[in-house]
Every structure is written in C-alpha cells, then in structure tokens.
Amino acid sequence: MSNNNYIHIFDTTLRDGEQAPGCSMTSEEKLRVAYQLERLGVDIIEAGFPISSEEDFQSVKKIAQKIKGCQIAGLCRASMKDIDRGWEAVQHSESPRIHTFIATSEIHLKHKLRKSRDQVLEMISGAVKHARNYTDNVEFSCEDATRTDIDYLCTAVDVAVRSGATTINIPDTVGYTIPEEFAYIIHTLVKNVPNLDDVILSVHCHNDLGLAVANSHAAISEGARQVECTVNGLGERAGNASLEEIVMGLSVRSDKKPYGFGINTTQIYPTSRLVSQVTGVNVQPNKAIVGANAFAHEAGIHQDGVLKESITYEIMTPQEVGIPSNQIVLGKHSGRHAFRDRLQEYGYVLEPEAFENAFTKFKALADKKKYVFDEDIEALINQEFLRSSDYYEFTAASYSGGTDSSPEASVTILAGGEEISVRETGSGPVDAIFKAVKKATGLDPRLENFSVSSITGGTDAQGEVTVRISDEGVISQGQGVDTDISVASAKAFVSALNRLRWRKEHPRRGSELKGI
C-alpha cells in the first residue's frame, strides 16, 4: 500500500464519460471541459483514446499542449501501435501518462481475446515495457478485474509492476462487484503482490448496481490511492463513479476518511453545469451533490430546522460545492465593466469580439428579465460560445396559437451560412417548431425525449429545454435556454441536430476496434 494518504483524482469524463451514447463532444468542447477540470484541481485528466479516431487523437494532443496543471493520460490497448499513437498525442504534455489495458477475466480471455492466460501475461509485460520506453509514468489496467480469478489477478498485477507500471488500476468494468468483495480484492492484492507499495493503486468503478462510489470508498480504505471517476457520473451504461460524490464523501466524512485531495470543491457545481451543457445530458434532480434538489428542503419540519440552524438537516452547504445562492448579480443597467468582472469570476476571458457578442446577449436578456442571476450568465456563455464550429445556427423563431387558433411556427436558421426560413403548423407550438426545423434542415430524426426545467425561480425565468434524438442508431442530445420555452425548444433541437451531424461525420471506430 502506498504510504501517503493523498487520494489522486483521475478524471475520465473526456474518455469513459464521452463514450456514453449521446455524450460526444467536439475537440473544442473537450478543451473547454479540460480547462475547467484543471480549475477544479483534478490530478489526472484522461483526455481520450487516441487510436480510436483522428478526432480523438487531435483532441488529446490539443489538451496535452494546453493544460499545464494536470497530468494528461491517453488510453491505449496493450498493443505497440496503440501505445505509439497514444504517446504521439500525450507527449506534448508537461506531465504525460500512458494508460494501457487488457482484460484478465476468463470470460474476456475466452470469448473476446481468445488468448491463453500466458499469452495475456506476455502482452502485459510487452505493453508496459514498450510504454516505459517513452515515459516513466505508465498506468496499467486489468479490464474486468472484479470477475478475474484472484490468483491470476495477483499474477497479472505482479507482471505489470515488474515490467515498470507506476500505477496499477483495478476496474470493475461491468459494475458487478459489491463493497465487501471489492475491499477483499484490493486487500488481497496489497497483501500478495510484492512491491505494490512502490506504485499507486487505483480503482475504476462502473455503476451498474448503483455501487460505484461505495466500491471506490471501500477500495480507498484498503489502500487505493487513485480513484477514477467522471463528472456527473457520466459513462458507459449506468455510468462511472461520480467525481463529486467521491470527493464530497472524503470531505464531509474526513473524520472516518482522513485523506488529502487536491480538488477545489467550490468548482464542483460549475464543472457539473458545464459538462451537462456541453453534452446536453441533464443531471437528475435528486442526484447527490449537484442535483437541483440536493439542497432543497420541502418538508415543513426540515425547513423549520434549516432556518433555525442549517446543520440540523444539511451535512454540507451549497456554498462548499459552489452552488450559486440565487443572488442577483446584474441587471439591465449593468455596464461592460460589471459584466466583464462577473465573467472573470467564472474564469471566462473572451476575445474582444466574443465579449461584445456576449454583452449584447446579456443586455437582451436583461431587457426580458428583471433580474439576471449567476445561473443565467453561466447558461448564456455556455450556450453561445461552446460550439463555434456548428453547421446549423438558430437565428429566429416565432409562433402563434392558443385555444382558438391552430399553432403555427416560423423558424429561421443558417445552414452552412445559408439562411433558410420555414413556416409549419403542428399540434402545439413545440410540434410546429420541430416540424419547421426538420423541414429547414432536411433531417428527420426521431425525438426520444423532451424535457423542460427552469434555470432559476420566477415566472420570467429562463427555461432550459433538453432533447434527445436518434437517427440510424446514432443518439444525440441538445440543450437550449431562453425566457421563451418555444425558442429554447428550437435552440435545443438545432443543437441536438448539430451533434447528430457531427457524430455521423466523426464515427467512432468503437465497433471496429477489437479487444486486441
């Protein structure tokens, strides 16, 4: 077991998180999230899987070049060409890491890899040694570790350590383990693998049984000193262990978990919002730490208690995780100076032209809405400036309807710079708007889900619409924000169409990429 009591936070939102259906991000968006992860204070950013596509390679490379405050890891299978490509991308970082993996469970060996145990041990040794030729920061993962025979797992880890791995990661790839069992696995490794205390022991838990965070904590108690996790728990299937839940568990229960970590907890909420807006994936309202209801007290007895003394029903404060306190920050009389100061507090430094655009949009919002809150500004910036490479751009929408007339909508968009205006009728304003957008773009995806929530309180609040669409097996999501929910719906739909188009143009090689 590593002697020190510092828990390294390894964020894989940009790799495992992004692998979830409908969560794809462009390079530009990934870089923006990476800057925020740096601000949040994560130790390692897993920026992608460089061999999986040219796009992934370029975005890992860009993040490695730009981010200075974190180690940058690239995922590679245990193959020489993956590792060469991975290194090509991460070498630009001041602190690069190669993360190589292969499955070790009998199930994977037999059905996926079709290799013997000895062959896999040879591959582990070959891959780790090859990676060590490039860097002394090499992580090795035993995929499906929790369904691996424990003696063979010890041997595989031993081979990786002897070959030069500096971090050993034990993934619960299919979210199958339970805390007592995972604690036993980590305990057995610590007890039986020689020299394991010379490396950092890591865990990577998936949430199929809703136990990813509990399993990660169980492993920390047995000596794990790196936890792999994602913002909002994004990830394949039921997701990965959620970063915010792990960190706040360590923070709030430091009496039982006396470990250090480098996260600035007040950046948790801004990071969660950014990831939600970039991916278009909503956070469920009852999600721990960052859900809309995480600090809401509905029951009278609770409200009474909290008003008298918040500790009665609150184990942490919203301020600790950076939730804005619904303060009015700016109004229609606020000038450029106040607006610029506010943006700087969020860490946005905009070029002069972008600043002027943002200021114009802020003024338009302040005209519609009496009070502009922190959340409004954050939504405005995230919505307007993230996807500068979008093909479709929403320009305008209007509709008419009501109890006595049939709903009709007009929508104007730019498609590749060309302006298209379309009018359509529908069963309601949203139906009419969606039909108009479909006609304008010539696209006809299936609408899988539509939801609307308000960003702040008040009847003049901005509505945030999230849509999930699918077409030919490709899923995408989009969000739109506006004081008018029909306009927000049009923005969300256009945003989802941009993502759909982008994903179709940048197909992952996931299905072609074999285990090895």
141 binds, among Zn ion, ligand KIV, none (CB under 5 to 8 A by kind): ligand KIV
Size of the site for ligand KIV (CB under 6 A): 9
The rounded distance, in Å, linking the Cα atoms of 276 and 416 is 26
- Is the distance from CB of 54 to CB of 61 less than 8 angstroms? no
Contact call for residue 52 and ligand KIV (CB under 6 A): no
CA dihedral for 496, 497, 498, 502, sign (positive or negative): positive
Site pattern 7..26 for ligand KIV (x: CB under 6 A): ---------x----------
Q: Which is nearer to Zn ion, 167 or 483 (CB)?
A: 167
202 binds, among Zn ion, ligand KIV, none (CB under 5 to 8 A by kind): none
Q: Which of 506, 499, 454 is nearest to 478 (CA)?
A: 499
- Is the distance from CB of 262 to CB of 459 less than 8 angstroms? no
Site pattern 193..222 for ligand KIV (x: CB under 6 A): -----------x-x----------------
Helix, strand, coil percent content, the chain, rounded in steps of 5: 45, 20, 35
Residue with tokens 């205390």: 197
**How far apart are CB 462 and ligand KIV at their closest, in Å?**
36
Contact call for residue 93 and ligand KIV (CB under 6 A): no
207 binds, among ligand KIV, Zn ion, none (CB under 5 to 8 A by kind): none
Site pattern 339..358 for Zn ion (x: CB under 5 A): --------------------
Range in contact with ligand KIV (rule: CB under 6 A) among 118-126, 169-177, 268-276, 346-354: 169-177
**How far apart are CB 66 and ligand KIV at their closest, in Å?**
24
**How far apart are CB 143 and ligand KIV at their closest, in Å?**
4
Range in contact with ligand KIV (rule: CB under 6 A) among 165-173, 187-195, 281-289, 489-497: 165-173
Q: Which is nearer to ligand KIV, 206 or 342 (CB)?
A: 206
Site pattern 99..138 for ligand KIV (x: CB under 6 A): --x-------------------------------------
The rounded distance, in Å, linking the Cα atoms of 403 and 133 is 72
Residue-wise burial string across 65-86, b where 16 or more C-beta atoms lie within 10 A, e elsewhere: eebebbbbbbbbbbbeebbebb
- Is the distance from CB of 361 to CB of 372 less than 8 angstroms? no
Within residues 3-62, the interface with Zn ion by CB under 5 A covers 16
What's the Rg (C-alpha) of the chain? 24
The rounded distance, in Å, linking the Cα atoms of 408 and 114 is 59
55 binds, among ligand KIV, Zn ion, none (CB under 5 to 8 A by kind): none
Size of the site for Zn ion (CB under 5 A): 1
**How far apart are CB 52 and ligand KIV at their closest, in Å?**
12
The rounded distance, in Å, linking the Cα atoms of 203 and 173 is 10
Contact call for residue 280 and ligand KIV (CB under 6 A): no
Edge-to-edge strand order for the sheet containing 418-425? 392-400, 408-415, 418-425
Helix or strand holding residue 234 (H, E): none
Number of H helices, E strands in the chain: 16, 16
Contact call for residue 143 and Zn ion (CB under 5 A): no
**How far apart are CB 220 and ligand KIV at their closest, in Å?**
18
CA angle 308, 310, 314 (to 5 degrees): 145
Within residues 284-313, the interface with ligand KIV by CB under 6 A covers none
Q: Which is nearer to ligand KIV, 141 or 177 (CB)?
A: 141
**How far apart are CB 226 and ligand KIV at their closest, in Å?**
12
Q: Which of 200, 134, 132, 191 is nearest to 170 (CA)?
A: 200
**Which residues are 201's β-sheet partners?**
168
Residue 187, helix vs strand vs coil: helix
Site pattern 451..490 for Zn ion (x: CB under 5 A): ----------------------------------------
Q: Which is nearer to ligand KIV, 18 or 378 (CB)?
A: 18
Q: Which is nearer to Zn ion, 71 or 146 (CB)?
A: 146
Q: Which is nearer to ligand KIV, 173 or 177 (CB)?
A: 173
Q: Which is nearer to ligand KIV, 141 or 383 (CB)?
A: 141
Residue 214, helix vs strand vs coil: helix
Contact call for residue 173 and ligand KIV (CB under 6 A): yes
The rounded distance, in Å, linking the Cα atoms of 191 and 204 is 20
Binding ligand KIV by CB under 6 A: which of 17, 22, 50, 171?
A: 171
483 binds, among Zn ion, ligand KIV, none (CB under 5 to 8 A by kind): none
Please state the φ and ψ torsions of residue 279, each to the nearest 5 degrees.
-90, -20
The rounded distance, in Å, linking the Cα atoms of 260 and 238 is 28
The pair of three-digit structure tokens given for residue 448, joined into one six-digit string = 């899988």
Q: Which is nearer to ligand KIV, 61 or 204 (CB)?
A: 204
Contact call for residue 399 and ligand KIV (CB under 6 A): no
- Is the distance from CB of 273 to CB of 326 less than 8 angstroms? no
Please state the φ and ψ torsions of residue 175, each to the nearest 5 degrees.
60, 40
| Contacting positions for Zn ion (CB under 5 A) | 16
| Contacting positions for ligand KIV (CB under 6 A) | 16, 101, 141, 143, 169, 171, 173, 204, 206
